Structure 1
């Protein structure tokens, strides 16, 4: 059972709360940028280090995989000990790993450094969500998550643009190194403010201090097993079908984890995951909405970048700039959504998801129906529509997901939600990109190259639309269940 006794709040001024929040959300943006900005650097890395398709896939997906594996143990450690300490450790590690990436002499070195960078990002992120739970209540928490959602949306969408600009400045051969060099001064500045401004852990707390190492390892194995086959899916003819056997490991690991956690709780100890959290409908449905949403969005950005660079021959900087309208409209709607989520609730998320589907459909129409010299502009306009919807999904859903979660569980609850997002990202990127590339391989005999890329983009974006439709269906189910609960409330109280 999740503890329900109140957790002492740290008595600090409103100004100090927002200063601490600014530091936390700034670092979150830094880690999310590395999920998307590296995409446009892959052709440069391929030329500079002689990387193959598997290595390039791992540079992107390996970061997400390590990110996902670190989230739950880091969230639990932050809840038990100190979020400020874990945040600082993660930030230092992220900065050092970025330095190793920037200096990497071989693709193997870069891969190892990227995985370490992902682990560091996974240590930091649950502390950010836990701090928001700790610092804010009520409407203020909605505003904070609105800003957080806007920042994440901007970071995800602006990453390809920033990556393209850095490659243009640094050159086609070594410009990719600037993608990692930029993290070092920013990381050091953030560390200075984190040590000064982040609050310490309350002296008294009702949270038990056991750390369930066996449970952490079993959960980590389950997450690893479900992500690995998708990480190694490229859509090429050399994909090894044996990779899908990892899903057997996922099933066995999950069963073992559930049995262990049940026995661990029966002994009166504090398990890794308090399953009572999943009895909270808003938390459970919110995780499902976010997982499906994040399965669709990063894959769409990657697909758009690949189509514009490989299909239309656009430079990386211009291919990346197509996502700027998404970033701007997403930021604006996230801020609005954070302010009005308490009034409209899940309806806001449903409206946002429908708008994203419309935006994705317009992106597809722009890619395959417009004249080649106008395509990039029409796609940018369609991105603005999708971004307006995306902002109404991210921050309101984050607020609704954690609204009924006890503050003492904020770190691990937030990290579980992030695990869903990272797993969704791995599955979505693999599904969308492999569909794109498998179409190209299948239609190699087609004489018109642009037609082949039209077909690849169409098939990939339809996968993304299907994924975001799943998010919509979960939102509608949640909306209906809430309506039924309100309708039955008077009879129950009577």
Structure 2
């Protein structure tokens, strides 16, 4: 380990214990100098990432089947979705910090193996209690795996290649939410019978097993960061704060917002206390769970994280609202309901890949244009579903949903790239975990607020489904417009082309990453 002179702070460089002559395929000798199999390793992480994010939404279409087969109440079966989302969010930052400390490939492989085991347990669940416990355990393993994805991209790629890799990663994040209902509908259509819902979990087993084998062979192995002591007070404050904020939201359908509203201010107090504690640990030379200088000293991180939280607040709940409208309002089957939003998924996938190549030239302007596209596309779709003849409304909304999807592809992956581009590789796991925690919190708010608006309008308008879908999508658009404001402010203050990221852990005097 050595110190690099001429920086604004001391930056430690970790030397890899792996000898170049005995380097394994895909092994990195140091951060930013990956082996030749880095693109193959990337696809392993993308497949695993798609699988865990898909499980957030794929289960929703199977809830009625689970309820009938297991004799469960509506409130208990809702925990199959809510429990996964809750434990997913709770594990993210801690898992990211552990990956930075003891090795990302170790956490990735261990979490992936545990996710497969939990999928088997969920698919074989004999009771609703067993299923909920298995899903909560599955959420923990997903939360441990998720931050390693972005951290491994930081570790394996630099410059334009990193932007392309994040473009693919952003495509996975965007597509997984949109295609969850489609995939769930297809599985239920193929796996006929009262217990066909079990294949929604069993399908993870062969995919996860293959990813595990290739991940063991291809993921880079570098020396872990400085281990030190785990910030247990920080873990407790953050965990309790996130739990207090999310619990009323995930229990919204069971009256959680009304009964547990007092947890919101308690959660805010705990999260403020977490920020104070982390600053204190950093000031005294300790190792915080999430270094506050990541937010205050890394250009683009705070605004990118805020933008992502607001965008997922408006983006995530839209799919539940569309599913409710298509199935209950228009009488579509789960598969037909999923296929109706396919244009958005297709547009998002294609645009995200292209965005990875454009973000280096266009910077935050790309996100601004994408957010405008999402707002215009969703607003047009909502108006068409509200006023067009029911027999033509869905077909008329196809171009609008396609535009919204293209815009979304220009938002998610470029924002991930610009948020994490100047984060030092040694902190990539914690930074990625915090970013995804914001996304999960935003998603929890959206999935509670938008369906809540839908049911409220439905009750007050005597079952006017078309008015309900337009009003609830409008609530989502408000959150997306707030994200657009953040993007515009950052674009105006940072007009120039996107800067090339500093070499990991090695800084120059002008690089913002050296502030940490």
**Pairwise same-fold verdict (TM > 0.5):** yes
CA 1:364–1:50 in structure 2 vs 1: closer, same or farther (change >3 Å)?
A: farther
**Correspondent of 2:71 among 30, 43, 50:** 50
Q: Which residue of 2 aligns with 1:489?
A: none
CA 1:3–1:226 in structure 2 vs 1: closer, same or farther (change >3 Å)?
A: farther
Give deviations 1:215-244, integer Å, cap 9, x for gaps: 11111111111111111112x7x5562311
CA 1:106–1:91 in structure 2 vs 1: closer, same or farther (change >3 Å)?
A: same
CA 1:340–1:213 in structure 2 vs 1: closer, same or farther (change >3 Å)?
A: same
- Conserved in 1, the CA contact under 8 Å of 2:366 and 2:410? yes
- Conserved in 2, the CA contact under 8 Å of 1:147 and 1:334? yes
Q: Offset of 1:175 from its aligned partner?
A: 2.3
Q: Offset of 1:397 from its aligned partner?
A: 0.6
Q: Give runs of aligned pairs for residues 250-329 of structure 1, distance below 5 A.
A: 250-279=267-296, 280-329=298-347
Query: Is structure 2 residue 426 aligned with structure 1 residue 408?
Result: yes
Structure 1: distance between partners of 2:390 and 2:442: 32
Q: Which residue of 2 aligns with 1:429?
A: 447
**Correspondent of 2:46 among 11, 25, 36:** 25
Q: Which residue of 1 aligns with 2:3?
A: none
Q: Give runs of aligned pairs for residues 201-240 of structure 1, distance below 5 A.
A: 201-202=222-223, 205=225, 207=226, 209-234=228-253, 238=255
Q: Which residue of 2 aligns with 1:454?
A: 466
- Conserved in 1, the CA contact under 8 Å of 2:278 and 2:292? no
Structure 1: distance between partners of 2:190 and 2:376: 35
CA 1:454–1:8 in structure 2 vs 1: closer, same or farther (change >3 Å)?
A: farther
Q: Give runs of aligned pairs for residues 5-404 of structure 1, distance below 5 A.
A: 5-8=12-15, 10-11=28-29, 15-171=36-192, 173-202=194-223, 205=225, 207=226, 209-234=228-253, 238=255, 241-279=258-296, 280-404=298-422
Q: Which residue of 2 aligns with 1:463?
A: 475
Q: Offset of 1:281 from its aligned partner?
A: 3.7
Structure 1: distance between partners of 2:333 and 2:265: 42
Q: Offset of 1:249 from its aligned partner?
A: 2.0
Give deviations 1:339-371, integer Å, cap 9, x for gaps: 110111000000000000011112202312222
Structure 2: distance between partners of 1:106 and 1:21: 37
Q: Offset of 1:328 from its aligned partner?
A: 1.4
- Conserved in 2, the CA contact under 8 Å of 1:363 and 1:383? yes
- Conserved in 2, the CA contact under 8 Å of 1:87 and 1:127? yes
Structure 1: distance between partners of 2:402 and 2:372: 14
**Backbone CA RMSD of aligned residues:** 2.2
Structure 2: distance between partners of 1:470 and 1:323: 24
CA 1:394–1:315 in structure 2 vs 1: closer, same or farther (change >3 Å)?
A: same
Q: Offset of 1:172 from its aligned partner?
A: 6.0
- Conserved in 2, the CA contact under 8 Å of 1:292 and 1:471? yes
Give deviations 1:460-489, integer Å, cap 9, x for gaps: 111111111111011111112224999xxx
Range moving further from structure 2, 88-97 or 367-376:
367-376
Structure 2: distance between partners of 1:39 and 1:293: 21
Long gaps (5+) in structure 1: 487-491
Q: Which residue of 2 aligns with 1:475?
A: 487
Partner of 2:36, secondary structure, is helix
Structure 2: distance between partners of 1:257 and 1:13: 35
Structure 2: distance between partners of 1:428 and 1:133: 29
Q: Offset of 1:424 from its aligned partner?
A: 0.4
Partner of 1:15, secondary structure, is coil
Q: Offset of 1:318 from its aligned partner?
A: 0.7
Determine which structure has the larger helix proportion and give its number. Answer: 1
The TM-score normalised by the length of structure 1 is 0.92
The TM-score normalised by the length of structure 2 is 0.88
Q: Offset of 1:255 from its aligned partner?
A: 3.3
Give deviations 1:146-196, integer Å, cap 9, x for gaps: 111112222221211110011111236322211111001111111111111
* Number of matched pairs: 477
Q: Offset of 1:385 from its aligned partner?
A: 1.1
- Conserved in 2, the CA contact under 8 Å of 1:2 and 1:274? no
Range moving further from structure 2, 151-160 or 255-264:
255-264
Q: Offset of 1:44 from its aligned partner?
A: 2.0
Partner of 1:374, secondary structure, is helix
Range moving further from structure 2, 145-154 or 65-74:
145-154
